[in-house]
Amino acid sequence: MMRALRKTEPGPGLTMVDLPEPSTGPLDVKIRVLRAGICGTDLHILAWDSSAEAMCDTVPFTPGHEFYGEVVEVGVDITDVRVGDRVSGEGHVVCGTCRNCRAGRKQMCIRTRSVGVQRDGAFAEYVVIPHFNVWVHEHDGGTELISPELGALFDPFGNAVHTTLKFSIIGEDVLITGAGPIGQMAVAVARHAGARYVAITDIAPHRLAMAEDSGADATIDVSSTRIRHAQAELKMREGFDVGLEISGQPRALQEMIENMNHGGKISLLGLPSQSFEIDWTMVVTRMLTLQGIYGREMYETWNAMSAMLTSSPELRAKVTRTVTDVIPAADFARGYEIARTGDGGKVLLDWENLG
Protein backbone atom coordinates (compact mmCIF):
# COMPACT_ATOMS: atom_id res chain seq x y z
CA MET A 1 0.00 0.00 0.00
CA MET A 2 1.02 3.63 -0.45
CA ARG A 3 -0.15 7.09 0.55
CA ALA A 4 -1.69 9.25 -2.16
CA LEU A 5 -3.39 12.64 -2.40
CA ARG A 6 -6.63 11.87 -4.16
CA LYS A 7 -9.54 13.59 -5.85
CA THR A 8 -12.09 11.12 -4.51
CA GLU A 9 -15.23 12.70 -5.97
CA PRO A 10 -16.30 15.70 -8.08
CA GLY A 11 -16.21 18.86 -6.00
CA PRO A 12 -13.72 20.98 -4.05
CA GLY A 13 -10.98 19.40 -1.96
CA LEU A 14 -8.43 16.57 -1.92
CA THR A 15 -8.03 13.66 0.49
CA MET A 16 -4.94 11.76 1.65
CA VAL A 17 -5.75 8.05 1.32
CA ASP A 18 -4.15 4.61 1.27
CA LEU A 19 -4.07 2.92 -2.14
CA PRO A 20 -2.45 -0.20 -3.58
CA GLU A 21 0.84 0.57 -5.32
CA PRO A 22 0.30 0.91 -9.09
CA SER A 23 1.22 -2.05 -11.28
CA THR A 24 3.85 -1.86 -14.03
CA GLY A 25 3.13 -2.94 -17.60
CA PRO A 26 5.79 -4.28 -20.00
CA LEU A 27 6.58 -0.79 -21.32
CA ASP A 28 6.09 1.12 -18.06
CA VAL A 29 8.35 2.45 -15.33
CA LYS A 30 7.46 2.69 -11.62
CA ILE A 31 8.98 5.66 -9.82
CA ARG A 32 9.25 6.36 -6.09
CA VAL A 33 8.29 10.03 -5.89
CA LEU A 34 10.68 12.21 -3.89
CA ARG A 35 9.43 15.74 -4.70
CA ALA A 36 6.37 16.99 -6.58
CA GLY A 37 5.41 20.55 -7.50
CA ILE A 38 2.05 22.29 -7.13
CA CYS A 39 1.08 24.21 -10.27
CA GLY A 40 -1.91 26.19 -11.51
CA THR A 41 -3.59 23.08 -12.90
CA ASP A 42 -3.46 21.49 -9.44
CA LEU A 43 -5.12 24.58 -7.96
CA HIS A 44 -7.96 24.25 -10.47
CA ILE A 45 -8.33 20.58 -9.54
CA LEU A 46 -8.42 21.41 -5.82
CA ALA A 47 -11.14 24.03 -6.35
CA TRP A 48 -12.96 21.87 -8.91
CA ASP A 49 -13.86 24.89 -11.01
CA SER A 50 -15.10 24.89 -14.59
CA SER A 51 -11.56 24.48 -15.92
CA ALA A 52 -11.02 21.35 -13.82
CA GLU A 53 -14.37 19.89 -14.85
CA ALA A 54 -13.44 20.42 -18.51
CA MET A 55 -9.96 18.88 -18.13
CA CYS A 56 -10.61 15.91 -15.86
CA ASP A 57 -12.76 13.21 -17.44
CA THR A 58 -12.46 10.51 -14.76
CA VAL A 59 -12.91 10.70 -10.99
CA PRO A 60 -11.38 9.41 -8.71
CA PHE A 61 -7.77 10.09 -9.71
CA THR A 62 -4.45 11.26 -8.27
CA PRO A 63 -3.24 14.73 -9.36
CA GLY A 64 0.37 15.88 -9.76
CA HIS A 65 2.52 16.07 -12.89
CA GLU A 66 5.69 17.94 -11.85
CA PHE A 67 7.95 15.47 -10.09
CA TYR A 68 11.36 13.92 -9.45
CA GLY A 69 11.98 10.42 -8.16
CA GLU A 70 13.87 7.16 -8.22
CA VAL A 71 13.08 4.23 -10.52
CA VAL A 72 12.13 1.15 -8.50
CA GLU A 73 10.75 -1.12 -11.24
CA VAL A 74 10.84 -1.32 -15.03
CA GLY A 75 8.72 -3.30 -17.46
CA VAL A 76 10.10 -6.49 -18.95
CA ASP A 77 10.59 -4.87 -22.37
CA ILE A 78 12.52 -1.80 -21.13
CA THR A 79 16.26 -1.49 -21.79
CA ASP A 80 16.92 2.27 -21.62
CA VAL A 81 15.78 2.94 -18.03
CA ARG A 82 17.25 1.10 -15.03
CA VAL A 83 16.28 0.58 -11.41
CA GLY A 84 18.03 3.26 -9.35
CA ASP A 85 17.96 5.94 -12.04
CA ARG A 86 16.97 9.40 -10.83
CA VAL A 87 14.34 10.79 -13.16
CA SER A 88 11.73 13.40 -14.00
CA GLY A 89 8.69 12.76 -16.16
CA GLU A 90 7.17 14.33 -19.26
CA GLY A 91 3.53 14.72 -18.26
CA HIS A 92 1.96 14.45 -21.72
CA VAL A 93 1.33 10.85 -22.73
CA VAL A 94 0.87 10.72 -26.50
CA CYS A 95 -0.77 8.17 -28.77
CA GLY A 96 2.18 7.59 -31.12
CA THR A 97 -0.05 6.99 -34.14
CA CYS A 98 -1.70 10.29 -35.11
CA ARG A 99 -0.25 12.35 -37.96
CA ASN A 100 1.75 14.64 -35.67
CA CYS A 101 3.17 11.77 -33.61
CA ARG A 102 4.28 9.89 -36.71
CA ALA A 103 5.89 13.06 -38.08
CA GLY A 104 7.93 13.50 -34.89
CA ARG A 105 5.78 16.36 -33.54
CA LYS A 106 4.64 14.48 -30.46
CA GLN A 107 3.94 17.65 -28.49
CA MET A 108 1.10 18.25 -30.97
CA CYS A 109 -0.55 14.85 -30.50
CA ILE A 110 -4.32 15.14 -30.89
CA ARG A 111 -4.97 12.40 -28.33
CA THR A 112 -2.69 13.55 -25.50
CA ARG A 113 -3.51 12.25 -22.00
CA SER A 114 -1.97 14.20 -19.15
CA VAL A 115 -0.42 12.66 -16.06
CA GLY A 116 -2.26 13.90 -12.97
CA VAL A 117 -5.23 15.09 -15.01
CA GLN A 118 -6.60 12.28 -17.17
CA ARG A 119 -4.55 9.53 -15.51
CA ASP A 120 -3.09 9.00 -12.04
CA GLY A 121 -0.26 11.37 -11.22
CA ALA A 122 2.62 11.98 -8.86
CA PHE A 123 0.96 13.22 -5.66
CA ALA A 124 1.64 9.78 -4.24
CA GLU A 125 4.53 7.69 -3.00
CA TYR A 126 4.69 5.91 -6.38
CA VAL A 127 3.69 6.78 -9.93
CA VAL A 128 3.78 4.69 -13.12
CA ILE A 129 4.37 6.27 -16.53
CA PRO A 130 5.36 4.91 -19.96
CA HIS A 131 9.12 4.55 -20.40
CA PHE A 132 8.93 6.99 -23.31
CA ASN A 133 7.94 9.71 -20.79
CA VAL A 134 10.87 9.11 -18.43
CA TRP A 135 13.78 11.57 -18.46
CA VAL A 136 16.90 10.09 -16.84
CA HIS A 137 19.12 12.74 -15.27
CA GLU A 138 22.83 12.91 -15.94
CA HIS A 139 25.34 12.34 -13.17
CA ASP A 140 29.05 13.02 -12.87
CA GLY A 141 31.00 10.04 -11.56
CA GLY A 142 28.16 9.04 -9.27
CA THR A 143 27.44 12.63 -8.17
CA GLU A 144 23.95 13.81 -9.05
CA LEU A 145 24.08 17.16 -10.88
CA ILE A 146 20.32 17.64 -10.49
CA SER A 147 18.95 17.94 -6.95
CA PRO A 148 15.48 16.57 -6.07
CA GLU A 149 14.16 20.13 -5.91
CA LEU A 150 15.59 21.05 -9.32
CA GLY A 151 14.46 17.75 -10.82
CA ALA A 152 10.87 18.48 -9.74
CA LEU A 153 11.05 21.72 -11.76
CA PHE A 154 11.81 20.13 -15.12
CA ASP A 155 8.17 20.33 -16.24
CA PRO A 156 7.70 24.07 -15.55
CA PHE A 157 11.30 24.83 -16.48
CA GLY A 158 10.59 23.11 -19.79
CA ASN A 159 7.67 25.48 -20.30
CA ALA A 160 10.00 28.41 -19.68
CA VAL A 161 12.66 27.07 -22.05
CA HIS A 162 10.15 26.26 -24.81
CA THR A 163 8.59 29.72 -24.50
CA THR A 164 11.87 31.62 -24.33
CA LEU A 165 13.75 29.81 -27.08
CA LYS A 166 10.90 29.52 -29.60
CA PHE A 167 12.42 32.54 -31.34
CA SER A 168 16.05 33.60 -31.52
CA ILE A 169 16.87 35.96 -28.66
CA ILE A 170 20.63 36.46 -29.08
CA GLY A 171 21.24 40.22 -28.85
CA GLU A 172 17.49 40.91 -28.72
CA ASP A 173 15.40 42.94 -26.28
CA VAL A 174 12.97 40.66 -24.45
CA LEU A 175 9.78 41.58 -22.60
CA ILE A 176 8.24 39.06 -20.19
CA THR A 177 4.78 39.49 -18.65
CA GLY A 178 4.23 37.58 -15.40
CA ALA A 179 6.97 37.17 -12.76
CA GLY A 180 5.82 33.91 -11.21
CA PRO A 181 8.20 30.93 -11.09
CA ILE A 182 8.01 30.31 -14.85
CA GLY A 183 8.55 34.00 -15.60
CA GLN A 184 11.57 34.03 -13.29
CA MET A 185 12.95 30.95 -15.05
CA ALA A 186 12.35 32.63 -18.42
CA VAL A 187 14.43 35.61 -17.26
CA ALA A 188 17.29 33.29 -16.33
CA VAL A 189 17.09 31.43 -19.65
CA ALA A 190 16.94 34.65 -21.71
CA ARG A 191 19.99 36.00 -19.87
CA HIS A 192 21.83 32.67 -20.28
CA ALA A 193 20.99 32.54 -24.01
CA GLY A 194 22.35 35.99 -24.80
CA ALA A 195 19.50 38.51 -24.77
CA ARG A 196 20.56 42.17 -24.62
CA TYR A 197 17.90 43.61 -22.29
CA VAL A 198 15.36 41.57 -20.31
CA ALA A 199 12.36 43.36 -18.81
CA ILE A 200 9.57 41.73 -16.80
CA THR A 201 6.21 42.90 -15.47
CA ASP A 202 4.05 41.94 -12.49
CA ILE A 203 2.17 43.56 -9.61
CA ALA A 204 3.77 41.56 -6.75
CA PRO A 205 6.92 43.24 -5.36
CA HIS A 206 8.42 40.01 -3.99
CA ARG A 207 8.10 38.28 -7.37
CA LEU A 208 9.66 41.23 -9.17
CA ALA A 209 12.53 41.12 -6.67
CA MET A 210 13.01 37.41 -7.39
CA ALA A 211 13.00 38.17 -11.13
CA GLU A 212 15.71 40.78 -10.59
CA ASP A 213 17.80 38.13 -8.83
CA SER A 214 17.26 35.92 -11.90
CA GLY A 215 18.88 38.56 -14.11
CA ALA A 216 16.20 41.01 -15.22
CA ASP A 217 17.47 44.43 -16.29
CA ALA A 218 14.10 46.08 -15.60
CA THR A 219 11.31 44.99 -13.25
CA ILE A 220 8.07 46.83 -13.90
CA ASP A 221 5.20 47.06 -11.42
CA VAL A 222 2.38 47.61 -13.90
CA SER A 223 0.00 48.69 -11.17
CA SER A 224 1.88 52.01 -11.13
CA THR A 225 4.30 52.09 -14.11
CA ARG A 226 3.93 51.60 -17.84
CA ILE A 227 6.24 49.47 -19.97
CA ARG A 228 7.21 52.42 -22.17
CA HIS A 229 8.82 54.08 -19.14
CA ALA A 230 11.08 51.05 -18.70
CA GLN A 231 12.04 51.29 -22.37
CA ALA A 232 13.11 54.88 -21.81
CA GLU A 233 15.14 53.94 -18.70
CA LEU A 234 16.94 51.23 -20.69
CA LYS A 235 17.56 53.80 -23.46
CA MET A 236 15.92 51.53 -26.00
CA ARG A 237 15.50 53.28 -29.34
CA GLU A 238 12.80 50.91 -30.62
CA GLY A 239 10.30 48.44 -29.19
CA PHE A 240 10.93 44.96 -27.84
CA ASP A 241 11.99 42.28 -30.32
CA VAL A 242 10.63 39.23 -28.48
CA GLY A 243 7.72 39.00 -26.06
CA LEU A 244 6.99 36.15 -23.65
CA GLU A 245 3.42 36.35 -22.37
CA ILE A 246 3.24 34.14 -19.28
CA SER A 247 0.67 35.88 -17.08
CA GLY A 248 -2.54 35.00 -18.94
CA GLN A 249 -3.82 38.53 -18.22
CA PRO A 250 -5.63 40.29 -21.09
CA ARG A 251 -4.14 43.71 -20.38
CA ALA A 252 -0.64 42.20 -20.24
CA LEU A 253 -0.85 40.97 -23.83
CA GLN A 254 -2.48 44.19 -25.00
CA GLU A 255 0.28 46.34 -23.51
CA MET A 256 2.95 43.95 -24.80
CA ILE A 257 1.62 44.36 -28.35
CA GLU A 258 1.72 48.15 -27.94
CA ASN A 259 5.41 48.00 -27.03
CA MET A 260 6.71 45.54 -29.63
CA ASN A 261 9.05 46.55 -32.43
CA HIS A 262 7.81 46.10 -36.00
CA GLY A 263 8.34 42.47 -36.94
CA GLY A 264 8.41 41.45 -33.28
CA LYS A 265 7.60 37.92 -32.17
CA ILE A 266 5.48 36.89 -29.18
CA SER A 267 5.35 33.49 -27.48
CA LEU A 268 2.05 32.93 -25.67
CA LEU A 269 2.16 30.55 -22.70
CA GLY A 270 -0.31 32.12 -20.26
CA LEU A 271 -3.88 30.82 -20.35
CA PRO A 272 -6.49 33.61 -20.03
CA SER A 273 -9.58 32.86 -17.95
CA GLN A 274 -11.85 34.64 -20.43
CA SER A 275 -12.05 35.80 -24.03
CA PHE A 276 -10.84 39.32 -24.78
CA GLU A 277 -10.12 41.68 -27.65
CA ILE A 278 -6.71 42.73 -28.91
CA ASP A 279 -5.77 45.40 -31.43
CA TRP A 280 -5.53 43.28 -34.57
CA THR A 281 -4.79 46.37 -36.67
CA MET A 282 -1.60 46.84 -34.67
CA VAL A 283 -0.72 43.15 -35.03
CA VAL A 284 -1.13 43.34 -38.79
CA THR A 285 0.46 46.72 -39.48
CA ARG A 286 3.44 45.99 -37.23
CA MET A 287 3.74 42.54 -38.80
CA LEU A 288 3.86 40.76 -35.43
CA THR A 289 4.06 36.98 -35.01
CA LEU A 290 1.95 35.39 -32.26
CA GLN A 291 2.90 31.80 -31.39
CA GLY A 292 0.98 29.61 -28.95
CA ILE A 293 3.14 27.48 -26.62
CA TYR A 294 1.88 24.36 -24.87
CA GLY A 295 4.14 22.22 -22.71
CA ARG A 296 7.52 21.18 -24.05
CA GLU A 297 8.79 19.93 -27.39
CA MET A 298 9.37 16.19 -27.11
CA TYR A 299 12.18 15.89 -26.54
CA GLU A 300 14.23 18.72 -27.94
CA THR A 301 13.25 21.03 -25.07
CA TRP A 302 14.34 18.36 -22.58
CA ASN A 303 17.73 18.07 -24.27
CA ALA A 304 18.16 21.85 -24.26
CA MET A 305 17.25 22.38 -20.63
CA SER A 306 19.30 19.42 -19.42
CA ALA A 307 22.34 20.67 -21.34
CA MET A 308 21.99 24.21 -20.00
CA LEU A 309 21.52 23.12 -16.39
CA THR A 310 24.30 20.54 -16.28
CA SER A 311 26.78 22.92 -17.90
CA SER A 312 25.94 26.07 -15.92
CA PRO A 313 26.07 26.11 -12.10
CA GLU A 314 24.83 29.72 -12.21
CA LEU A 315 21.69 28.76 -14.13
CA ARG A 316 21.10 25.79 -11.82
CA ALA A 317 21.23 28.13 -8.84
CA LYS A 318 18.86 30.67 -10.40
CA VAL A 319 16.26 28.07 -11.34
CA THR A 320 16.49 26.32 -7.97
CA ARG A 321 15.93 29.66 -6.18
CA THR A 322 12.42 29.82 -7.60
CA VAL A 323 11.53 27.16 -4.99
CA THR A 324 10.64 28.91 -1.74
CA ASP A 325 8.79 26.14 0.12
CA VAL A 326 9.26 22.37 0.43
CA ILE A 327 6.32 21.05 2.45
CA PRO A 328 5.88 17.51 3.88
CA ALA A 329 3.20 15.88 1.74
CA ALA A 330 1.00 15.22 4.79
CA ASP A 331 0.78 19.01 5.22
CA PHE A 332 -0.45 19.47 1.65
CA ALA A 333 -3.16 21.97 2.65
CA ARG A 334 -0.52 24.47 3.76
CA GLY A 335 1.40 23.97 0.53
CA TYR A 336 -1.70 24.56 -1.55
CA GLU A 337 -2.51 27.73 0.38
CA ILE A 338 0.96 29.18 -0.25
CA ALA A 339 0.61 28.34 -3.94
CA ARG A 340 -2.92 29.76 -4.14
CA THR A 341 -2.07 33.11 -2.54
CA GLY A 342 1.16 33.55 -4.50
CA ASP A 343 2.91 34.68 -1.32
CA GLY A 344 6.03 32.67 -2.18
CA GLY A 345 7.60 31.13 -5.25
CA LYS A 346 7.39 27.51 -6.33
CA VAL A 347 5.93 25.11 -3.75
CA LEU A 348 7.01 21.45 -3.64
CA LEU A 349 5.51 18.56 -1.71
CA ASP A 350 8.08 16.27 -0.08
CA TRP A 351 7.02 12.63 -0.55
CA GLU A 352 10.34 11.32 0.73
CA ASN A 353 9.52 12.73 4.18
CA LEU A 354 5.73 12.60 4.36
CA GLY A 355 5.52 14.19 7.79
Catalytic residues: 41, 44
Phi–psi pair at 204, nearest 5 degrees = -100, 115
Rounded distance between C-alpha atoms, residue 217 and residue 95, angstroms? 42
Nearest to 260 by CA among 298, 301, 231: 231
Nearest to 212 by CA among 348, 312, 318, 315: 318
Quick one: CA torsion of 183, 116, 66, 274, rounded to 10 degrees?
0
Question: Would strands 86-89 and 134-136 be described as parallel, antiparallel, or unpaired?
Answer: antiparallel
Return the half-sphere exposure (C-beta side, CA atoms, 13 A cut-off) of residue 292. Answer: 5
Helices H / strands E in the chain, number of each = 13, 19
Nearest to 123 by CA among 186, 44, 197, 62: 62
Q: Does residue 80 sit in helix, strand or coil?
A: coil
Rounded distance between C-alpha atoms, residue 243 and residue 258, angstroms? 11
**DSSP assigned state of 32:** E
The answer to whether the beta carbons of residues 89 and 31 sit under 8 Å apart is yes
Nearest to 269 by CA among 163, 187, 177: 163
Phi–psi pair at 220, nearest 5 degrees = -120, 115
Q: In sequence order, which residues have a C-beta less than 8 Å from that of residue 5 and are 6 or more positions away? A: 14, 15, 16, 62, 63, 64, 123, 124, 329, 332, 349
Q: In sequence order, which residues have a C-beta less than 8 Å from that of residue 97 and are 6 or more positions away? A: none
